Amino acid sequence: MEKKSKLMLISAVLMFGTIGIFRRYTDISSSILAMVRGFIGSLFLVGVMLAKKQKFSLGKSKKDFILLCISGMAIGINWILIFEAYLYTSVAVATLCYYMAPIFVLAASPLVGERLTLKKTLCIVAALIGMVFVSGVLQTGLDGITGALLALGAAALYASDIMINKKVTHVPAYDRTVVQLFVAALVVVPYVILTEDVGHALATADTLSVILMIVMGVLHTGVAYALYFGSMEKLKVQTVALYSYIDPITAIILSAIIFKENIGWTGIVGMVLILGSTIISELSDKAVKE
């Protein structure tokens, strides 16, 4: 079961890593895209459940529903903060700060009863160092303290979302994801209304953008988040945190292949550190079990 959960998690973060490619060809603002994909993702999962004649379940207690709503709010505010971060600082700095989330998860993992080993700690620290190289911040410098703080806020919410989902019990993956994505989309609505002309943006969007937006809503939101949240039940939060680094690596590799963007030696060193720490961490876990 743990192996299946890891495959689900890897599939999810790989999907998250490809969203940048689709986003590059979509002529719709990030905030509108986030709102729409949240609604599309939740509605898609509802459709799948209806097709399977699967009953909607929110667990055996109101506590699970409340936690799911809090998680959905965290996702929505997370989206808003990272959008704003990109306006105040470089993508490299925002990315670096955002991927502090695994470190936050690592620090909080004892709160959910997980023992923090030295080897696991060193692996996540190595992954963070790798993220510094991958982000490109060594070349661009740490400019834009406001953007950095906003991205760190998004990272904290990302980490809290992982922790909250560990507390949700006996709620199927589709059911929990429907609630979380719908609540996340609702949270983004006021932000979009205040900052965007939604009607004009959607009316003037080209056909390709609309198609890609639907794909991102179904694949990168509905399916990916269902796999992501569904994998957490059987995995340690430390494992989820570490595997999250596969997301930016995927994005960078695809950008290099599709858009011919130069990775450079820092990017290569960073990817080796991140992938290496992930592999070593898993091998160490197996060795302990054996």
Over residues 137-153, the pLDDT tens digits come to 676 666 667 877 888 89
Amino acid at position 153, single letter: G
What pLDDT is attached to residue 283?
A: 65
Cα 256 to Cα 250: distance, rounded to the nearest angstrom: 10
Angle made by CA atoms 205, 31, 262, in degrees to the nearest 5 = 85
Collapse the DSSP code of 171 into the 3-class scheme (helix H, G, I; strand E, B; otherwise coil) and give the result: coil
Parse the chain into domains and list their residue ranges.
2-289
Give the burial string for 78-90 (b: 16+ CB within 10 Å, else e).
bbbbbbbbbebbb
- Name the H helices within 109-259: 118-135, 137-140, 145-167, 173-195, 198-203, 207-215, 224-231, 237-243, 246-258
Contacts of 142 (CB under 8 A, 6+ apart): 93, 148
Higher confidence at residue 76 or residue 287?
76
How many Cα atoms occupy the beta-carbon half-sphere of 276 within 13 Å? 13
Q: What is the mean pLDDT of the chain?
A: 82
pLDDT of residue 62: 82
Predicted TM-score (pTM) above 0.85: no
Is residue 148 within 8 A of residue 200, CB to CB? The reply is no
Query: Taking every pair of C-alpha atoms in the chain, what is the biggest distance, in angstroms?
Result: 60
Question: Confidence class of residue 109 from pLDDT cuts 50, 70 and 90?
Answer: confident
The position carrying tokens 């923090």 is 116
**Which one-letter amino acid corresponds to residue 127?**
A
Q: How far apart are CA 182 and CA 21, in angstroms?
A: 24
**Taken in order 10, 125, 155, 89, is the CA torsion positive or negative?**
negative
| pLDDT, average across residues 265-274 | 80
Stretch 163-175: mean pLDDT, rounded?
82
